[in-house]
């Protein structure tokens, strides 16, 4: 198998895990704002570059729905509701996971629970997983750090928002480049 170490727009799918109102409210404010900004950039870039995207919601009756900041930039995406921590345990998610896309970029929360379990399960089914470090969060920073170490050790590529979107772009030209450059500023 030919392993890419760079995200490829033709091979990628984006998954934004459980960025919900009640869960967001208990995160450190500054860190949460950064994650919201970066998740928004990822969703907008995915839309511009035709990268398939999935948004999930963990038990929305208790944790609320996707935060308005992300719903506003992705109104065409209907969140997949789940109660399992790993997104892959939800059949509706698995049906939306694009089989011909070998790469999955993960963002969202919480890093040490749903993001971690989803990443490990994606690795187990043969996907190449890119974890967008500046677009994931946990209530406790030590838990996020531990999750990143575990995901890295399991074979995930730890990246950041700018690296990922510019790897998807590939070249510094065209309308998508101009639009995405404005998002990053």
Q: Provide the annotated active-site residues.
A: 18, 82, 114
Both structure tokens of 117? 């379990």
Q: Cα 98 to the chain's mean position, in Å? A: 15
Q: What gap in Å lies between CA 124 and CA 154, rounded to an integer?
A: 9
Buried b (16+ CB within 10 A) or exposed e, 153-176: eeebbebebebbbbbbbeeeeeeb
Q: Cα 155 to the chain's mean position, in Å? A: 17
Both structure tokens of 163? 């690296």
Q: Torsion angle of alpha carbons 121, 87, 54, 113, nearest 10°?
A: -90
Q: What gap in Å lies between CA 115 and CA 137, rounded to an integer?
A: 9
């Amino acid at each position: 198998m030919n392993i890419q170490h760079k995200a490829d727009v033709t091979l990628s799918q984006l998954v934004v895990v459980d960025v919900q109102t009640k869960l967001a409210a208990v995160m450190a404010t500054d860190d949460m704002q950064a994650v919201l900004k970066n998740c928004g950039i990822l969703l907008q870039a995915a839309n511009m570059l035709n990268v398939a995207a999935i948004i999930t919601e963990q038990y929305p009756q208790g944790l609320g729905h996707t935060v308005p900041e992300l719903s506003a930039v992705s109104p065409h995406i209907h969140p997949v509701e789940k109660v399992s921590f790993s997104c892959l345990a939800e059949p509706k998610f698995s049906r939306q996971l694009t089989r011909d896309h070998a790469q999955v970029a993960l963002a969202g929360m919480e890093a040490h629970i749903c993001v971690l379990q989803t990443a490990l399960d994606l690795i187990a089914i043969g996907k190449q997983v890119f974890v967008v470090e500046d677009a994931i969060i946990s209530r406790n920073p030590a838990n996020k750090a531990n999750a990143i170490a575990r995901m890295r050790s399991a074979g995930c590529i730890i990246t950041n928002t700018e690296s990922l979107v510019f790897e998807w772009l590939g070249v510094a030209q065209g309308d998508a480049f101009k639009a995405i450059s404005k998002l990053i500023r």
